Amino acid sequence: MFYNLPVPVLRNLRVTLEMIKWEHSIFALPFALCGAMLAASGFPTARQLLWIVIAMVAARSAGMAFNRLADASIDAANPRTRTRALPAGHLSPGFVTTFVVVSSAVFIFAAAQLNRATLLLSPVALAVLLLYSYTKRFTRWSHLVLGFALGIAPSAAWIAVRGSLDPRILLLTAAVTFWVAGFDVLYACQDFQFDRDTGLHSIPRYFGIRRALWISRAFHAIMLFLLIALLPAFALGKLAVAGIVVVTLLLLYEHSLVKPDDLSNLNAAFFTMNGVISVVFALFVAADLLLRK
């Protein structure tokens, strides 16, 4: 497919995919698939699954690339992030802008392949994803905005399957919102001093690292309560219960990796554990729905 593309374009595309860590689409994608499976009471059609996955990956790619674009000057000033592709000069702002536009177009096209409601709502979803990048400039609660940007995935997938929204799926949207906000608070602890020095807003900056860790735990406790509320809402059975138990244990382990005076394991807690959590929950819900069917 890329055989005839110039070598610089291929290199820039590879660097861009590394920059946005496209493989971490796995964070929200399993929860989106949960929303689709709950809507279908099993597996949606292969066509629906295909376009849901394409829409999810394209939307996240657009959001992440736009975030890097919006934060280029901030990343350049931060010792932790100044080696990223844009501040390091490995990519031009023009190329990343083109990538955002193309990814956004793919997302809207994928939404159009699903149904009229997903097409009409796609600009709204895109606006939430893109505008999140500016929230750290004026609110300490930007972590919840990021959570909501990913949390809309299950509801979007439900609409993709049913063509309308059921209030019950908002429980999963809220659960993902608090889950993402919780681990984003952990991640933001790395920039505690930088945020204070530059005036950026975050929970660690305002509350300190120790209290921020407790707020992260509280967010994840809320997530677990919302997942439990899913059980009666969708008449889920023992396998779904087991999934929530496993997620609880994984979250406890994740939080055990991070201490107020030792943030050295943050990457393991952020990237590895959260990918495992989302996949595990999706697998248990899928198994429960298939068994019930």
Return the pLDDT at 266: 77
This prediction's pTM: 0.92
Return the pLDDT at 237: 94
> Tell me: the pLDDT tens digits for 55-112?
999 999 999 999 999 999 999 999 988 988 899 888 889 989 999 999 999 999 999 9
Torsion of CA 113, 115, 118, 120, to 10 degrees: 100
Strand partners, 259: 262
3-state secondary structure of 259: strand
CATH code of the region 7-292? 1.10.357.140
Strand partners, 262: 259
Neighbours of 124 (CB within 10 A): 11
Q: Which residue do the tokens 């994984």 mark?
A: 250
> Tell me: the pLDDT tens digits for 193-214?
999 999 999 999 999 999 999 9
